[in-house]
Amino acid sequence: MKVYCEKDYDQASRRAANIIAAQVLLKPECVLGLATGSTPVGAYKELIAKCEKGEIDFSKVRSVNLDEYKGLSPENDQSYRYFMNTNLFDHINIDKNNTNVPNGLEPDADKACADYDKIIESMGGVDLQLLGLGHNGHIAFNEPAEEFSKGTNCVNLTQMTIDANARFFESKDEVPKQAYTMGIASIMQAKKILIVACGEDKAEIVKKAFTGPITPQVPASVLQLHPDVTLVGDAAAMKYMV
Residues that bind ligand GLP (CB under 6 A): 35-39, 66-67, 132-134, 140-141, 161, 165
136 among known catalytic residues = yes
143 among known catalytic residues = yes
Q: How far is the C-alpha of 31 from the C-alpha of 19, rounded, in Å? A: 14
Q: Is 134 or 176 the residue whose CB approaches ligand GLP more closely?
A: 134
DSSP 97: G
Q: Is 78 or 124 the residue whose CB approaches ligand GLP more closely?
A: 78
Least Å distance, CB 242 to ligand GLP, is 21
Least Å distance, CB 38 to ligand GLP, is 4
Q: Write the DSSP string, 6-55.
A: ESSHHHHHHHHHHHHHHHHHH-TT-EEEE--SSTTHHHHHHHHHHHHTTS
Q: Is 30 or 195 the residue whose CB approaches ligand GLP more closely?
A: 195
> Helix 9-26 and helix 41-52: axis angle, to 10°?
50
Candidates 103, 143, 165, 234; catalytic one:
143
Least Å distance, CB 59 to ligand GLP, is 26
146 among known catalytic residues = no
Least Å distance, CB 175 to ligand GLP, is 10
Q: For residue 58, give every residue at least 6 positions away whose Cβ sits within 8 Å of its Cβ, in sequence order, or none.
A: 24, 51, 92, 93, 94
Q: How far apart are the first and last CA of the chain?
A: 14
8 among known catalytic residues = no
Q: Which residues belong to the active site?
A: 67, 136, 138, 143
